[in-house]
Amino acid sequence: MMNQQLQNLSTQQLDMNSKFQYTDEELISRFQNGDEQAYIALVNRYKDKLINFVYRLVNDRDQAEDIIQDTMLKLYTHKHYYRNIAKFSTWIYTIAGNFAKTELRKKKTRKVTNNSQLGYEDRDYDPPSNEPSPQKLVEDDFINTKIHDAIDNLPDHFRIVTVLRDIEKLSYEEISSIVEIPLGTVKSRINRARLQLQKDLKELI
């Protein structure tokens, strides 16, 4: 049953996403009461955002996808752990962030070079539908590689807050909850990371 539901997702938009626009908290509440459609809606709402966030941290698309699968599986098996005292987005980002941190720690101890770390340009991604010129594509690719490298050069504790703020567009308070550090520290880390990025990306500005 679950299988069929998920397979139909790519072809048809869920009513939960398109018509009613349930909030995240309403959806998780419905899921906690046994509504699996709500779970699917949450997965659809967050899978890309979370993969994008985790990818910036672990620098490996496949690994990022695996981490988000773990996150979504945890959401499925530990749904009752969510209490309606925090925002759902904060909770799910915290889970994904913790998985990513664990993976980063493992990576540091292993120090193994992964093929997927060779270059951002090697990875496939969905091309825009209006098909820009080849020159534009090359330019975009160059810019993306530069941005990616600049983010990758940041220390881990700077990178996570910058990605959450400037790419995921979360508030300082949310970031403070996710990373579990004081608000002042979040602000100062974001500021220092931005200054470093500004230096690294000067040629693009």
Partner 1 sequence: MNRYEFEDKISDYIDNQLSVSERKAFEDFLNSDNEAKELVESVRKTIKLLSSAETVKSSNEFLPNLTSRINSEKKNISKRSKQKTSNHFFGFTRTNASLMVVLLVCFVSVSLNLLSTEGPTIQSNIVSNTSNQIKDTTPQFSNSNTNLASTTSDTSDTTSIPRSNIKLDKKIKLVKNQR
Taking the least distance from each CB to partner 1, the nearer of 84 and 155 is 155
Taking the least distance from each CB to partner 1, the nearer of 47 and 107 is 47
- Say which residues have a Cβ less than 8 Å from residue 1's Cβ, sequence separation at least 6: 36
Give the C-alpha separation, 110 to 107, whole Å: 5
Structure-block tokens of residue 82 = 């969510």
Structure-block tokens of residue 153 = 């050069």
Closest approach of partner 1 to the CB of residue 122, in Å: 13
Taking the least distance from each CB to partner 1, the nearer of 84 and 132 is 132
Instruction: Kindly list the residues in this chain that would bind partner 1 in the complex (CB under 8 A).
Output: 2-3, 6-7, 9-10, 43, 47-48, 51-52, 55, 61, 64-65, 68-69, 72-73, 76-77, 123, 125-126, 140, 143-144, 147-148, 151, 162, 166-167, 169, 172, 187-188, 190-191, 194-195, 197-198, 201-202, 204-205
Closest approach of partner 1 to the CB of residue 205, in Å: 4
- Say which residues have a Cβ less than 8 Å from residue 31's Cβ, sequence separation at least 6: 38, 39, 42, 79
Taking the least distance from each CB to partner 1, the nearer of 102 and 143 is 143
